[in-house]
Structure 1
Amino acid sequence: MHVAETTTQTRNLMVADHEMRLSWAGVTDQGRRRDSNQDAYLAEFPLFIVADGMGGHAGGEIASRSAIGRLQTVVSDGPVSRAAIERALELAVGDIADHPETTDEGTGTTLTGVFLDLDADLPHWVSLNIGDSRVYLLRDDRLLQVTTDHSVVQELIAAGKISPEEAEGHPYSNVITRAVGASELTAPDYITLDVRAGDRFVICSDGLTKELTDYGIQHFLRENADPADAVDAMLVAALENGGRDNVTLIIVQTTEETADSSSTDAETVE
């Protein structure tokens, strides 16, 4: 099995009095059992997003790419903010509704990720989520799921009707309760997080979490300091474990630069 090598991209930032390096890598793969790839992703500073499309024929692919395309424009035009993201997603909803190949009522896409909010007094991360794609954070060697799935099984877990272990094989495990689709947009859930050196985000579609446990994700992060190496290792493992769905993931991490480090692309953030 051959997996194309991904490349780590970097950006240096001055956050208050600390020089930090932001680095990231992303990949998407059709998987072993799907006829097409309905996932899409955006990994361009300061916005990192995964979208997992759904719908008959080409609907899911159209939906995910519509959302990512509109968010790409947000990055190009700047600044990235909650309001700009929601305006872009409203436009994506219109794109999906107007497309001749998205007649299936189930057409839509999940959307999850993080962006670095540089306009605030104190720079911070903002996670956003619609659907069951996820954002994880490895902080102080503990892996935390930042986002909460918008899914039937998550509602059953929250109500105490099933356990997390029972959720994996549940007949409604693929049924989500919110999506970016051809109807009125429901705003994403947002969570604000401080910027810390050493943090590592994993943003992924459920094609990864179907094949890797949280422990597996943490293992590959520990074993691979470089984002591209970690992305490739997780993708290979997901495919070897079955690759039952499209697999898409982005890893974003921050490291503190040493005192004698220099950078020509540093962006000062006070």
Structure 2
Amino acid sequence: MPHVVVGARTDVGHHRSLNEDALLVGERVWVVADGMGGHAAGDVASSLAVQSLRALEGAEPLTPADVPAAVERTNDALVEYGGEHPEARGMGTTVTGVAEVSIGGVAHWLVFNVGDSRTYRYVGGELHRVTIDHSEVEELLAQGLIDADEARVHPARHIITRSVGMQPTPSVDVWVLPQTAGERFLLCSDGLNGELTDEQIAAVLAEHADPRAAASALVDAVLSTEARDNVTVIVIDVVGAEPDAGDESTVPQPQLTHAPAAGGDR
């Protein structure tokens, strides 16, 4: 396990009375979940999700197949909870995370995602989004029907096409990355990128070498705006891993190892 230093912070924002975000800061698993449902217990959904995924910490070794399987079990648990608690029926949550997994005895990072919370990778002064939003706006962008500026204000920007807690069970997007000294991961709910552009996020990360200071500064930057949503960030700095010997690039390209399938609309 490489040496990592982690900073995390969450805030309710200026317009919400309840924080429906939840986070997991583990030893080798880190997760951000953004609950949906309002009165249908979005905060319960996100809390149940991180509690369920905490079990990954105890897997030895943790393999790439273990992570999507755990997310699928989490989905089943949320569906079951909604069936037993009518007031929570229809609740759901996004899930994005980073886990250390073993492939042939070699440690790698595995990034996983369902929904529109995001995982970024920051290295060499450049910010790269690893995950793909499961949202109507992302689909419009992919089709070239809108541009990035239009996406930020589009009326459908909060409509998610895949989430944990839905039926049928959603497919989990998974990427595998080599471990590289000096890299930084940023996990966030859409309360961050909904208020700050990627350029603004990168500028804050560049300004703060300590991940705890970076996490706090990112939330402060959101709170200086309208902060219409809850905001949660985890910043993970990889201090002790060595670059993969066979990787000559500065920025390893994410490898999609669990192909996404179309999910039902919510």
TM-score interval, normalised by the smaller of the two chains: 0.7 to 0.9
Moved more, 200-209 or 110-119: 110-119
- Residue of 111, 117, 121 corresponding to 1:127: 111
User: Which residue is 1:68 aligned to?
Assistant: 50
Secondary structure of the structure 2 residue equivalent to 1:193: strand
User: Which residue is 2:63 aligned to?
Assistant: 81
Moved more, 113-122 or 65-74: 113-122
- Asked whether the 8 Å contact 1:89–1:185 carries over to 2, the reply is no
Alpha-carbon offset, residue 182 of structure 1: 4.2
Matched ranges for 1:165-244 at <5 A: 165-244=149-228
Deviation readout 1:58-105 (Å, 9 max, x if unpaired):
521111111111111221354433433333333322332233155443
- Length, aligned pairs only: 238
Once residues 86 and 28 of structure 2 are traced to their aligned partners in structure 1, the CA distance between those partners, rounded to angstroms, is 32
Once residues 96 and 124 of structure 1 are traced to their aligned partners in structure 2, the CA distance between those partners, rounded to angstroms, is 29
- Does residue 25 of the first structure (1) align with residue 7 of the second (2)? yes
Once residues 68 and 127 of structure 2 are traced to their aligned partners in structure 1, the CA distance between those partners, rounded to angstroms, is 28
Deviation readout 1:204-262 (Å, 9 max, x if unpaired):
000011121111111111111111010011111111112210110100111249xxxxx
Amino acid at match of 1:242: E
Deviation readout 1:17-55 (Å, 9 max, x if unpaired):
xxx521112121111110101110111021111000101
- Asked whether the 8 Å contact 2:68–2:174 carries over to 1, the reply is no
Once residues 184 and 217 of structure 1 are traced to their aligned partners in structure 2, the CA distance between those partners, rounded to angstroms, is 35
- Asked whether the 8 Å contact 2:8–2:215 carries over to 1, the reply is yes
User: Which residue is 1:97 aligned to?
Assistant: 79
Contiguous gaps of at least 5 residues in structure 2: 242-266
Amino acid at match of 2:168: E
Once residues 28 and 101 of structure 1 are traced to their aligned partners in structure 2, the CA distance between those partners, rounded to angstroms, is 28
Secondary structure of the structure 1 residue equivalent to 2:111: strand
- Asked whether the 8 Å contact 1:116–1:126 carries over to 2, the reply is yes
Contiguous gaps of at least 5 residues in structure 1: 1-12, 14-19, 258-270
TM-score, structure 2 as length reference: 0.84
- Residue of 86, 92, 96 corresponding to 1:108: 92
Amino acid at match of 2:8: G
Q: Structure 1 pair 90/21, CA: closer, same or farther in 2 (3 Å)?
A: closer
- Does residue 143 of the first structure (1) align with residue 127 of the second (2)? yes
Identity %: 39
Alpha-carbon offset, residue 183 of structure 1: 2.2
Alpha-carbon offset, residue 165 of structure 1: 1.1
Q: Structure 1 pair 60/79, CA: closer, same or farther in 2 (3 Å)?
A: farther
Secondary structure of the structure 2 residue equivalent to 1:118: strand
TM-score, structure 1 as length reference: 0.82
Once residues 131 and 162 of structure 2 are traced to their aligned partners in structure 1, the CA distance between those partners, rounded to angstroms, is 13
Task: Supply the RMSD in Å over aligned alpha carbons.
Answer: 1.8
Once residues 101 and 83 of structure 1 are traced to their aligned partners in structure 2, the CA distance between those partners, rounded to angstroms, is 33
User: Which residue is 1:39 aligned to?
Assistant: 21
Once residues 14 and 236 of structure 2 are traced to their aligned partners in structure 1, the CA distance between those partners, rounded to angstroms, is 26
User: Which residue is 1:261 aligned to?
Assistant: none
